[in-house]
Structure 1
């Protein structure tokens, strides 16, 4: 067995330094507000301020012309592909064809060139309400088009996401420059589109649009507009839930717990009388759940952007069962160097959801998930006894060769008590009794420390380890 750990140099505070550096340099550290945000990004404000230099008081297309400009190229697209779709049928409104029979939509088809023209014109104008009217119509018609096209590769959806981001940047300028009355009108136009049926089934993009209100939440005289937008969305989705007969537990009336796979299987096999109704119910349930999860981010950011840092922190803690919320609060505590509170928070997360993962920290930085954050807190507080116990447990429970560095970490903080640490590990491991797989880290320790008797007993449990431990047997 090669690769002795005795010569490996380890910084006892490396985990702490790496995590602090990440938190301070990533999106988790906000330079604008007292804590991290999910939907707000300072680049939106930077981009809008830069674009302000290019905006002028120029007219935009009349509302009655916008639908024609946008719709013309969209209809041309459907007319052109209908010639290649045998199942296409002419109707009074144009052409009808099953989406599954359509060719895959490509952005270079120019079907959305009308949107480009309208949006490009609107983004350059400081006639805030008129321009926002056209932007709202552009988003509405684009969402409907993408929903009707065969967007198998997501090119249309990517276009829609970019369009929404452009709208967010523009609305930041509206919030900063327009008088409050015009700002309120403009945000209501965007909110109305966000709450229409095209976005009720796509809650992530719905909330992205609603997050235009965050720009208004920064100012005392327009903050209420942002909360009005939030309340409109909540009312809309409450009605959506009632129409779909979704109860407070996220189930349709009369249903027991069902996963999407079971429902889809029932629909496919015809075991339910009305398969189409079953699929509709599944879609509604999924959309409502997505909304409930996404709207939490907006609620939090509204508090944070409004200056209610304490309320925002309490909101994160109360929703610690959400991976993203828990990670954000952990980052908040790390940035503030509130290490004892971080340990208490980790205890709560692991107690309430023992298998909860981190999602905002890089995997290589938190190899042991929440325990990696606890490790950093122990290092910051100098709680070396607890840190040594943590490393001993990792060695005893190790099955992955990548844990080899743990021996060096433990050695670095043990000093003269290294021999005692080794004895504690040997006692806890108990020669592998009751275990079903070899421990490569423990084997490395046996070789490094020349523990012949312990190695012999280990080989009684795992005879196939004898060749790797031959040097000390």
Structure 2
């Protein structure tokens, strides 16, 4: 029997988060663009009579090279005078202040194309120094200034898109895209590289400048999504064997090796950029083609599901998430990937299952929601999910219409399922695991299953569980008596 009551949705915070993001996207659900970027860019604008002249590029180059030279000279002097030479990190304070001065001067300038040349120079010099000081413990300030610089440039491009004429805007965006596509940036700073690429989104809403946005994003798609770096590397090796005497001093950026980790970031944010570009441009055909061509992409599928939730198509979003999970080899791994996806931070504690939970609650579907709760209990390996035992019991008793005896029978059946899962854990998982996080957890214990055993006083299940995980000292924890009384 199913109760006439419906489970009160607790998915509202997720819906509110998506609604707030859509509001920031002028009614669209976007992932890399919001009005906040434009608002931040406005703070850079100087009053017409207060704008400072732009530092000429050659002067900026001299300022930075002189600062780097003095920085290295001071470090060499320290090495010559002290025996603990290599225990001291290089002091980058003067260099950072110089970068901030040049960048600050450029960010307030309305000479947009030339200003972007200075900003590109700053990005290049900071990154070059980062690479040269890779093992320097004092390089953290350089990482900080790089992140700050990339974000400020991204915001500045909102001003370029709004105030520059089309040819100037195209030149400025091309300059920033060149900085983003530098082979070392793509390899060692992929997130900042793609943040700079997202500058193209600032141009998507202007009819006379949208073509520049499409050029940049289409180039990113070709570089990051349609190009096989491993295959090209293998082909290059074969070519080298056949043509040993060929001059390879100049190699196109596309043939340079990109690590799997960096490539993953580049591909993820390329898809996000492309999705936002088509939405901002009201290009439904482009968006549908993107979804079709990269249907196996977790990022795009997740964006599509979030958009379905935002538009109220909850059952479609549920089926999309469920289908993606069922097509995967490892459901737990796929949930972990979705949880740490960069698309909806802190919103998906259980990855795709959180999407399914939100949809089931919004649909007031007891059966679908119960299935999600059962999975949470089944996969639990720390105490954070133990409350789903009570949630499942209340759901089935209050809204599903089960009597106390009927619920106890359900709990007993669940215990048998969870016991089989423990056997699988012992076979295939290490005893301790950090999978999906930084804290170590028992790979064999299931705290939610333990709570089910305690709440329903399933003595037989408790004994079986303890024997399986060789955790007999936990028997007093269950509140079921001493070891001798259980044995009796």
- The equivalent residue for 1:136 is 120
The reply on whether 1:305 has 2:280 as its aligned counterpart is yes
The answer as to whether partners of 1:72 and 1:114 remain within 8 angstroms in 2 is: no
- The equivalent residue for 2:36 is 43
Gaps of 5+ in 2: 1-5, 238-254, 424-443
- The equivalent residue for 2:334 is 356
- Secondary structure (helix, strand or coil) at the match of 1:52 reads coil
CA distance in 2, matches of 1:409, 1:182: 59
CA distance in 1, matches of 2:147, 2:447: 48
Deviation at 1:49, TM superposition (A): 2.4
CA distance in 1, matches of 2:160, 2:302: 32
Structure with more helix by fraction? 2
CA distance in 2, matches of 1:344, 1:290: 27
Gaps of 5+ in 1: 1-10, 87-99, 256-280
- The equivalent residue for 2:459 is 455
1:215-226 paired onto structure 2 within 5 Å? 215-226=202-213
Q: Cα distance 1:384–1:220, how it changes in 2: closer, same or farther (>3 A)?
A: same
Per-residue CA distance 1:346-403 (angstroms, 9 max, x = gap)? 122202323312225566x645432232122222212213333544565567665544
* RMSD between aligned residues: 4.0
User: Which of 153, 165, 175 is the aligned partner of 2:161?
Assistant: 175
- The equivalent residue for 2:271 is 296
The answer as to whether partners of 1:432 and 1:458 remain within 8 angstroms in 2 is: no
Q: Cα distance 1:346–1:84, how it changes in 2: closer, same or farther (>3 A)?
A: same
Deviation at 1:339, TM superposition (A): 0.7
TM-score (norm 1): 0.73
Q: Cα distance 1:130–1:347, how it changes in 2: closer, same or farther (>3 A)?
A: same
CA distance in 1, matches of 2:377, 2:183: 55
CA distance in 2, matches of 1:236, 1:33: 31
User: Which of 89, 94, 99 is the aligned partner of 1:104?
Assistant: 89
Per-residue CA distance 1:194-220 (angstroms, 9 max, x = gap)? 334443434333222222221112211
Higher relative contact order (CA 8 A, sep 6+): 1
1:418-457 paired onto structure 2 within 5 Å? 418=403, 419-430=405-416, 434=420, 435-436=422-423, 441=448, 444-445=451-452, 448=455, 455-456=459-460
CA distance in 2, matches of 1:238, 1:404: 41
Q: Cα distance 1:233–1:84, how it changes in 2: closer, same or farther (>3 A)?
A: farther
- The equivalent residue for 1:271 is none
Per-residue CA distance 1:54-109 (angstroms, 9 max, x = gap)? 355653223332211222112211222122346xxxxxxxxxxxxx969534442x
- The equivalent residue for 1:127 is 111
- The equivalent residue for 2:18 is 23
- The equivalent residue for 2:427 is none
CA distance in 2, matches of 1:316, 1:393: 29
Q: Cα distance 1:433–1:200, how it changes in 2: closer, same or farther (>3 A)?
A: closer
Q: Cα distance 1:371–1:49, how it changes in 2: closer, same or farther (>3 A)?
A: same
Q: Cα distance 1:462–1:102, how it changes in 2: closer, same or farther (>3 A)?
A: closer
Per-residue CA distance 1:409-450 (angstroms, 9 max, x = gap)? 23333234233232133235349765557766566556655x
The answer as to whether partners of 1:16 and 1:380 remain within 8 angstroms in 2 is: yes
CA distance in 2, matches of 1:22, 1:197: 36
- The equivalent residue for 1:114 is 98
- Secondary structure (helix, strand or coil) at the match of 2:305 reads helix
- The equivalent residue for 1:327 is 302
CA distance in 1, matches of 2:158, 2:465: 67
- The equivalent residue for 2:430 is none
Q: Cα distance 1:422–1:19, how it changes in 2: closer, same or farther (>3 A)?
A: farther
Q: Cα distance 1:33–1:317, how it changes in 2: closer, same or farther (>3 A)?
A: farther
- The equivalent residue for 1:96 is none
- The equivalent residue for 2:243 is none
- Secondary structure (helix, strand or coil) at the match of 1:417 reads coil
- The equivalent residue for 2:129 is 145
CA distance in 2, matches of 1:21, 1:54: 38
- The equivalent residue for 1:228 is 215
- Secondary structure (helix, strand or coil) at the match of 1:84 reads helix
The answer as to whether partners of 1:73 and 1:112 remain within 8 angstroms in 2 is: no
- The equivalent residue for 2:368 is 386
Per-residue CA distance 1:252-288 (angstroms, 9 max, x = gap)? 3499xxxxxxxxxxxxxxxxxxxxxxxxx99544455
- The equivalent residue for 2:480 is 469
CA distance in 2, matches of 1:143, 1:81: 19
- How many equivalent residue pairs? 414
Deviation at 1:334, TM superposition (A): 1.9
The reply on whether 1:13 has 2:8 as its aligned counterpart is yes
- The equivalent residue for 2:149 is 163
Q: Cα distance 1:335–1:284, how it changes in 2: closer, same or farther (>3 A)?
A: closer
* Mean CA deviation greater in 11-20 or 367-376: 11-20
